[in-house]
């Protein structure tokens, strides 16, 4: 009976005197090694937010539906009411996606001490910011090479969508941060749903605004997510959750979950 009671208490007790948790960002490195590079590539390729948009773009291309969907979206604007609102909301939702990414960054475990917390948050912020800048330059280069005219004929920078690539990248980092939080699965699913709403809303708004064809935003989204997953899994890593035993007495045993901001 005594052992049962102690086991029950141990599982619900948050140990504060024996913390061995690593803050997210503590393993960030510029030289990750081939194991982490391979892991990052695998995770970025098998991510549904990478392959599903590419598959969708392929289906639309084979069916020759790109222009038809674009024309229907700009004529009916089912979500945003008119072309101008769609353009405005694409900017708003991109800003929201970026805000969510930095907000979730701050909510990940940061370490046991203030200096660790600030150091880890700084490394995460610098990594994300640098990746976003590189993604922007890569997207601009592809736009120039592709030379695809926008549906509204404003210029030849339609493919891929920069907004969708940016939103996809911020969403990819947000999911990484959320997955590293020590919260319930339900909360993680809810957070992921909110992230996807902003991300996908931004992408679709670009179609309703007449700035991009559906394949532009799908490939842009896949590109942004690929880079975010690859960088987060390869250069940041995932070492935030550690389980510890409690007690050295033969009558006391349990598991403690240690979590620090």
| Measured CA distances, 85 to 63, 80, 89, 201 (Å) | 29, 6, 6, 12
Given this model, what pLDDT does residue 111 score? 86
Given this model, what pLDDT does residue 162 score? 98
Given this model, what pLDDT does residue 10 score? 34
Q: How many whole angstroms separate alpha carbon 189 and alpha carbon 169?
A: 18
Given this model, what pLDDT does residue 160 score? 98
Cβ contact 151:158 at 8 Å: yes
Comparing CA positions, the residue from 81, 80, 57 lying closest to residue 69 is 57
DSSP 175-224: HHHHHTS---HHHHHHHHHHHHHHHHHHHHHHHHTTS--HHHHHHHHHHH
Given this model, what pLDDT does residue 21 score? 58
CATH architecture of 21-241: Up-down Bundle (1.20)
Given this model, what pLDDT does residue 247 score? 35
Domain coordinates of the chain in residue numbers?
21-241
pTM: 0.84
pLDDT tens digits in sequence order for the chain, 261 residues long: 444 433 333 333 333 334 445 789 999 999 999 999 999 999 999 999 999 999 999 999 999 999 999 999 999 999 999 999 999 999 999 999 999 999 999 999 998 889 999 999 999 999 999 999 999 999 999 999 999 999 999 999 999 999 999 999 999 999 999 999 999 999 999 999 999 999 999 999 999 999 999 999 999 999 999 999 999 999 998 754 443 333 334 343 333 334 343
Given this model, what pLDDT does residue 147 score? 97
Q: How many CB atoms lie within 10 A of CB 79?
A: 14
């Amino acid at each position: 009976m005594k052992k049962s009671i102690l086991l029950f208490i141990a599982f619900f007790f948050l140990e504060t005197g024996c913390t061995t948790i690593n803050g997210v960002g503590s393993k960030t490195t510029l030289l990750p090694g081939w194991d982490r590079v391979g892991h990052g590539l695998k995770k970025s390729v098998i991510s549904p937010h990478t392959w599903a948009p590419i598959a969708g773009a392929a289906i639309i291309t084979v069916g020759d539906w790109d222009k038809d969907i674009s024309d229907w979206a700009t004529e009916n604007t089912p979500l945003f009411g008119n072309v101008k609102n769609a353009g405005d909301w694409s900017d708003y939702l991109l800003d929201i996606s970026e805000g969510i990414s930095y907000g979730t960054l701050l909510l990940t475990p940061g370490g046991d001490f203030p200096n660790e917390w600030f150091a880890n948050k700084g490394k995460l912020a610098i990594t994300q910011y640098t990746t976003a800048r590189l993604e922007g330059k890569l997207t601009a280069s592809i736009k120039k090479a592709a030379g695809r005219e926008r549906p509204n004929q404003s210029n030849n920078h339609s493919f891929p969508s920069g907004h969708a690539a940016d939103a996809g990248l911020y969403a990819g980092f947000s999911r990484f941060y959320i997955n590293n939080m020590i919260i319930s699965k339900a909360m993680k699913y809810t957070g992921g749903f909110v992230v996807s709403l902003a991300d996908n809303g931004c992408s679709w708004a670009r179609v309703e605004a007449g700035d991009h064809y559906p394949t532009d935003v799908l490939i842009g989204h896949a590109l942004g997510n690929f880079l975010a997953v690859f960088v987060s899994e390869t250069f940041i890593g995932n070492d935030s959750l550690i389980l510890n035993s409690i007690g050295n007495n033969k009558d006391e045993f349990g598991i403690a979950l240690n979590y620090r901001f």
